[in-house]
Amino acid sequence: MEKKFVNLKPKWLHVKFTLGKNYNNILKLSNTICNSGSCPNIGQCWGKGVATFMILGNICTRSCKFCGIKTGKPQKIDFEEPKKVAHSIKILNIKHAVITSVDRDDLKDMGAIIWVKTIKAIKNLNENLTLETLIPDFKGRKDLINLIINEKPEVISHNIETVRRLTKKVRVQAKYDRSINVLKYIKLKSNIRTKTGIMLGLGETEEEVIQTLKDSKKAKIDIITIGQYLSPSIKHLPVKNFIHPFIFKKYEKIALDMGFLYVESGPLVRSSYNAYKHIL
């Protein structure tokens, strides 16, 4: 018998999309992780003229078990992409943009040069724009991380995604300590705000979540987002449990008490949620 993907969400995870003119314009012009990742806040953010743009194609070389982005052999690099993204942001009058990418472990520079060219093109064409770069781990290579630091985006983010114990299962080719050290290195080498995000509902314990918050604060991370994991399909990891909004509020208070500058914590929170506020 064919297995069917059943998604029995609690009421607090049901969201009504509000789609406006900006939504349709962004959808036509750009490749965004908002759409590829099925973000529940897509209408809200795009309606405000805030969007997350994905570069380096839409096929990832890694096979994380939580992510809805395709994995496999990526397409060739589009060296015109930096200009295309910059022009899209200009046309759409984006006030705050988040740039992210698939992992490109197939490239010698893991896509870092395209990252730099994209940041430069965006800044050259959009004078008053603020920018967050949601980067891959670049396998911890400091020479590549330095290239991003040198471009001085307002925020550099990299998601830990889950607690230490579950990392190997959830992020097959990633390492918990490597992600922490990437963020720690950025703060060591600059005064740029750093940010990370984790998902709940994968089987983590409260103690593990709090320890992840402690590890993040020890790395001097400024901003953290905490959201509910939702399985993209039957091929991905199942949701172990749906976390009640009350628990998210509890973690928000714990994180704020630890001294994080900003904490976004809730069932519908994703890594770019309220991103425009994090530069204030």
In this predicted structure, the answer to whether residue 36 has a pLDDT above a threshold of 60 is no
Q: What is the pLDDT of residues 160-171, one digit of tens each?
A: 999 999 999 999
Q: What is the pLDDT of residue 273?
A: 85
Q: What is the pLDDT of residues 180-213, one digit of tens each?
A: 999 999 999 999 999 999 999 999 999 999 999 9
Dihedral angle at the C-alpha atoms of 273, 145, 89, 107, nearest 10 degrees?
A: -110
Residue 264 DSSP SS3: strand
In the chain, the amino acid numbered 233 is S
Q: What is the pLDDT of residues 257-278, one digit of tens each?
A: 999 999 999 999 998 888 888 9
CA dist 274 and 267 (Å) reads: 14
Q: What is the pLDDT of residues 99-118, one digit of tens each?
A: 999 999 999 999 999 999 99
> Kind of pairing, strands 50-55 and 193-200?
unpaired
Mean pLDDT taken over the chain: 88
Q: What is the pLDDT of residue 25?
A: 54
Q: How confident is the model at residue 18 (pLDDT cuts 50, 70, 90)?
A: low
Which residues in 102-191 belong to E strands, given as ranges?
130-134, 155-157
In the chain, the amino acid numbered 198 is I
CA dist 74 and 60 (Å) reads: 6
Whole-model pTM: value is: 0.87
DSSP 227: E
Q: What percent of the chain has pLDDT over 90?
A: 72
The arithmetic mean of pLDDT across residues 108-132, rounded, is: 96
Question: Which is nearest to 119 in space by CA: 138, 100, 136, 93?
Answer: 100
Q: What is the pLDDT of residue 35?
A: 46
Q: What is the pLDDT of residue 92?
A: 86
In this predicted structure, the answer to whether residue 6 has a pLDDT above a threshold of 50 is no
Q: What is the pLDDT of residue 53?
A: 92
Q: What is the pLDDT of residue 46?
A: 47
Q: What is the pLDDT of residue 34?
A: 43
Q: Between 127 and 46, name the one with better pLDDT.
A: 127
Assigned token pair, 184: 């720690």
CA dist 146 and 130 (Å) reads: 20
